[in-house]
């Protein structure tokens, strides 16, 4: 059993979030400190701590998350493009240890990231 994080509390509606999408496997809500005009976090309801800890059994869930991100990008009308980021571990800049995908869009994004 992994540690409870604030994202688990958002899933349980114990702390508020601006939720933009939900289905049986995942939840999406606006990042509290947006780095782009559209900045949404897409998380599995299953508390996988990080991408590096995903298992073979999570294969379908990971595919589901990617398809959900694409659907949310369409809903948000990110027609000219967007970026999906999974920060993983300390060097990856991960701060919340519940797997999440950042969906960033609404402006031209530079590369490489910092």
User: Residue 100 catalytic?
Assistant: yes
Closer to ligand AMP by Cβ: residue 57 or 89: 89
Closer to ligand AMP by Cβ: residue 42 or 73: 42
Residue whose beta carbon is closest to ligand AMP: 87
**Bridge-partner residues for 82, per DSSP?**
105
Positions touching ligand AMP (CB under 6 A) are 6, 17, 29, 31-33, 41, 87, 93-96
Transcribe 1-51 into DSSP letters.
Answer: -PPP-HHHHHHTTSS---EEEE-SSEEEEE-SS-SSSEEEEEEESS----G
């Amino acid at each position: 059993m992994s540690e409870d994080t604030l994202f688990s509390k958002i899933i349980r509606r114990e702390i508020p979030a601006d939720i933009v999408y939900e289905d049986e496997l995942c939840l999406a809500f606006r990042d509290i400190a947006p780095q782009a005009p559209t900045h949404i976090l897409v998380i599995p309801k299953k508390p996988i701590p990080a991408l590096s800890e995903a298992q073979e059994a999570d294969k379908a869930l990971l595919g589901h998350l990617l398809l959900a991100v694409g659907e949310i990008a369409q809903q948000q009308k990110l027609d000219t493009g967007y970026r999906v980021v999974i920060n993983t571990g300390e060097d990856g800049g991960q701060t919340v240890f519940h797997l999440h995908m950042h969906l960033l869009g609404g402006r031209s994004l530079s590369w490489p990231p910092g």
